[in-house]
Amino acid sequence: MMTYKAIETILNHRSIRKFKNQKLTVEQVETIIEAAQYASTSSYVMAYTIIGITDEKLKEELAAVSGQPYVKDNGHLFVFCGDLHRSEQLGTSEQQNAMQESLETSEQFIVATVDAALAAQNAATAAEDLGLGICFLGSLRNDINRVNELLQLPDKVIPLFGLAVGYPDHQPEQKPRLPLEVVYHQNFYQPFEKQLPLIQEFDENLKSYYAKRTSNKRVDTWTAQITRKFSNPIRLDVTPFLKMKNMNKK
């Protein structure tokens, strides 16, 4: 019988937030980056740069931005950046002038963000295939200007998120996902009213999951979490930051 090892790895995913004190080898890091590079890329632009953080002082500074200890304590820390600077710099100064209108659009901001995320998910899957654990770190956007400064990012390069990788030092339960029918629709968008009964069922299941799990027990539903989250605007400095970097500007 054929087994689908990539799918097995993917379906076994859980975010790891406590790592053993063991660094990745250079070979492991390079395998992860190579996997990232083989993701699809829009029009062959490869509009991202990945920064590997090995300097301990720098990791501490980034952990301070995120407020999460596993940004410092892990086997390796990657920061995924959207990068239109490389493309811009390929041009002569005359070409560069002509390229600004395009580079500053929301369209090209989508290109850079999607390119970086596709690469990052390959990196995550490759790391898990190597027996390592991973955690995505959107928390680096808690102070995007500070991360930009720490990593010395030029114009048109923006830090999108981090990826902490390492040997897992806990085995968290897998977090349930929304029912397939809620996120997967046929031919056109299914009105929210049709999704609602399934979401209510999911809320009940999640309540049991939170009540039963071995650590971090809590009383909560998905609906309550999400409405709380969006009632509290965060990272309002991201918009002016992007414009300052001359991306997503017009």
C-beta closer to its own copies: residue 24 or 126: 126
The whole-angstrom separation of Cα 229 and Cα 227 is: 5
The yes or no reply on residue 244 touching its own copies (CB under 8 A) is no
**197 lines the binding site for its own copies (CB under 8 A):** no
As measured in angstroms, the least distance from the Cβ of 17 to its own copies is: 12
User: Judged by CB under 8 A, which stretch of 68-76, 134-142, 165-173, 210-218 contacts its own copies?
Assistant: 134-142
Rule CB under 8 A: say whether 231 interacts with its own copies.
yes
Instruction: Find out whether 163 and 80 touch, Cβ atoms under 8 Å.
Output: yes
* Cβ density class 114-150: b for 16+ within 10 Å, e for less: bbbbbbbbbbbbbbbbbebbbbbbebbbbbbeebbeb
Region at 168 (left for phi over 0; alpha for psi -120 to 50; beta for the rest): beta
Closer CB to its own copies, 63 or 120, in the complex: 120
Which residues in 7-66 contact its own copies (CB under 8 A)? 7, 9-11, 13, 15, 30-31, 33-40, 42-46, 48-55, 58
User: What is the Cα–Cα distance from 168 to 135, expressed in whole angstroms?
Assistant: 10
Number of residues that bind its own copies (CB under 8 A): 113
Listed residue (228, 10, 2, 248) closest to 127, CA to CA: 10
Window 151 to 180, contacts with its own copies (CB under 8 A)? 151-154, 157, 160-161, 175, 177-178, 180
Segment contacting its own copies by CB under 8 A, of 18-26, 66-74, 164-172, 184-192 = 184-192
Supply the minimum distance, in Å, between the C-beta of residue 31 and its own copies: 6
Q: Which is nearer to its own copies, 46 or 64 (CB)?
A: 46
Nearby residues of 86 by Cβ (< 8 Å), 6 or more positions away = 47, 49
Question: Does the footprint of its own copies cover residue 215 (CB under 8 A)?
Answer: no
- The 10 Å Cβ neighbour count of residue 37 is 14
Q: Token pair of 58, please?
A: 């720098």
C-beta of 203: minimal distance to its own copies in Å?
Answer: 9
